[in-house]
Chains A and B, each alone.
Chain A
Amino acid sequence: MIEIKNVNKVFYQAGREIKALDDINLSIAEGSIYGVIGSSGAGKSTLIRCVNLLERPTKGRIFVDGIELNSLSANELTLARRKIGMIFQHFNLLSSRTVFNNVGLPLELAGVSKQEIKEKVESLLELVGLSDKKDSYPANLSGGQKQRVAIARALASDPKVLLCDEATSALDPATTHSILELLRKINREFNLTILLITHEMAVVKSICSDVAIIGGGKLVEQGPVGDIFAHPKTELARQFIRSTLDLSIPADYAARLSASQSPNSYPLVRLEFTGASVDAPIISHVARELNLDISILSSNMDYVGGIKFGLMLAEFFGSPQATEQAIAFLKENKIEVEVLGYVA
């Protein structure tokens, strides 16, 4: 549905060259929810803005629904954009228009009759759950409500593609969740292809089918979300995955932690389960077979695309030999083990 071919974007600022996008190739299938993740300044916004040519690539070609956008005249591009919806981090609703008139704007631009606009807008407001707000002005809405209006507006001209530029980054976690649910719903209901950019792996994890990771303007890694979580090939991918389950050592434990073992102290270990780890009840196996008591301090396990992964902090109470054997066994099963120190 969306093809991004050899796209490069160079900005010139104060005589300096900034390579914002470096030979990006992406192919986004119809009906998928495709996530692009990267840290600040990675080039995410530039990439998504290239898709509807808000930003013209310095080099490369963009196809949406089989049409090469770069080759269109200004007027043709304007018409093509009506089939590409877009929502933004800061909503970009017109403050001078009511909710109703904001949602109706794309239809007004296309010269649709008043009666049709009314019917369409009312059904869209119902879809996003804001029928009661139709005469309100955006200034009187919450962030989540504003983004719902923006989504309704983006859907007004029946687009085939929806571009989301950090659509949930200005929202709290609960609202983020509800907006993502709404995106998933419209993806299913209208078979709408969604390209979503974010800096949060949690967003990718919760709704995307595929993900591309970009860093420094380069496409670092891409694939189905499950595969990336299971077998991240790059350090950047691992970092993003870890960021979804960051576990830190509680302060009072950290204070009691020492680097060397004394007779009555026990190791505090961090276990990292990845897609490569053997999927079996390993913890209880270790405890039973090696006569080791395992006390789980904290744990953050997750399940994405058929893959179990996560982090766990645990204390191993047992003889030094048993502990050593346990660690060896865990490593054999492709669980990464790190001894963080010894707690007295």
Chain B
Amino acid sequence: MSLEMFSTWWTTNERLIDLLITASGQTLTMVFLAGLIGLIFGIPLGVLLHLTKKSGLLSNKNLNKALGVMVNIGRSIPFIILLVAVIPFTRFIVGSSIGTAAAVVPLSIAAIPFIARLIEGALLEVPSGLVEAAQAMGAKPYQIIFKVLLPEALPGIIHAITILLVTLIGYSAMAGTVGGGGLGDVGIRYGYQRFDAAVMMMTIVILVVFVQIIQSLGDYLVKRVDHR
């Protein structure tokens, strides 16, 4: 695709450009909304996974096991299957099983266990000596969580959020299956089903740009908060 071809395409396909802009909006809505919901539930879940470990602050073998199994089940279901499997639940929550809002539900459900494991990993990197020092100075468990564990794990947590958002961009491409729209959907319908290579390339370029921006922003933030 030469530059000239590209510019003629651009001027003669106003309708398709509108479509790409709308689709970009849908992708971003899905990713950030699902990301947000995922973090709201996933971060506490990750913290709980960490705390209930054998040598953890609130060690509880049974709870840890139960949570672990739940998270593993969530992580092992392929997203495309999850998407369909949760349709009744989606209908219950948003009143409909199709559309961008409906796609946010399965995306959030996939995000929660995903981010929980990553948060657990980030917390594992905090040296146990720091928790011990905090205990020795008379910190209560909630103070240890909010003043020691989370701030010390912050670089890892931001890194994890970056990975989550990038992964959700990938997942959101499948949301077309339930009429969620988004760039992935456009790419499949125009590029794959109608052999419109130009549109497919455009969606790919936009997705790459999104991923780049998220990754760079994430890396920048990690660098800013990391004083290790």
A-side interface residues toward B, CB under 8 Å? 52, 54, 75, 78-82, 84-86, 88, 90, 92, 94-97, 105-106, 108-110, 137-139, 153-154, 157, 163
Q: List 22 A-B contacts (CB under 8 A).
A: A52-B136, A75-B140, A81-B138, A84-B136, A85-B137, A86-B137, A88-B129, A94-B151, A94-B152, A95-B152, A95-B228, A96-B151, A96-B152, A96-B154, A96-B225, A108-B147, A109-B134, A109-B147, A110-B138, A138-B227, A139-B227, A154-B137
Least CB distance from B153 to A in Å reads: 9
* Distance in angstroms between the alpha carbons of A92 and B129 in the assembled complex: 6
* Distance in angstroms between the alpha carbons of A82 and B136 in the assembled complex: 8
Interface code B127-142, partner A: CB below 8 Å = 1, 0 otherwise? 1011011111111100
Contacts of B72 in A (CB 8 A): none
Contacts of A139 in B (CB 8 A): 227-228
B136 to A, closest residue via Cβ: A86
Contacts of B214 in A (CB 8 A): none
A86 B133 Cβ-Cβ under 8 A: yes
Residue B148 lies at the interface, judged by CB distance under 8 Å to chain A:
yes
Least CB distance from B82 to A in Å reads: 36
B133 to A, closest residue via Cβ: A92
A54 B135 Cβ-Cβ under 8 A: yes
B137 A106 Cβ-Cβ under 8 A: yes
Besides the known contacts A95-B227, A105-B147, 8 further A-B residue pairs in the complex with CB atoms under 8 A apart: A54-B132, A78-B140, A80-B138, A81-B135, A92-B132, A94-B130, A105-B137, A106-B137
* Distance in angstroms between the alpha carbons of A94 and B126 in the assembled complex: 10
Main secondary structure of the interface of A (DSSP, over half): mixed
What 8 A-B pairs are tightest by C-beta distance, nearest first?
A82-B138, A92-B133, A81-B138, A137-B227, A86-B136, A96-B151, A92-B129, A106-B137
Contacts of B225 in A (CB 8 A): 96
* Among A75, A81, A90, A110, contact of B136 (Cβ-Cβ < 8 Å): A81
* Distance in angstroms between the alpha carbons of A106 and B228 in the assembled complex: 21
Contacts of A85 in B (CB 8 A): 137
Residue B212 lies at the interface, judged by CB distance under 8 Å to chain A:
no
Contacts of B154 in A (CB 8 A): 96
Residue B22 lies at the interface, judged by CB distance under 8 Å to chain A:
no
Contacts of B148 in A (CB 8 A): 94
B138 A79 Cβ-Cβ under 8 A: yes
Least CB distance from B56 to A in Å reads: 15
* Distance in angstroms between the alpha carbons of A81 and B137 in the assembled complex: 6
Contacts of B134 in A (CB 8 A): 105, 109
Contacts of A84 in B (CB 8 A): 136
Residue B143 lies at the interface, judged by CB distance under 8 Å to chain A:
yes
* Among A80, A96, A109, A154, contact of B139 (Cβ-Cβ < 8 Å): A109
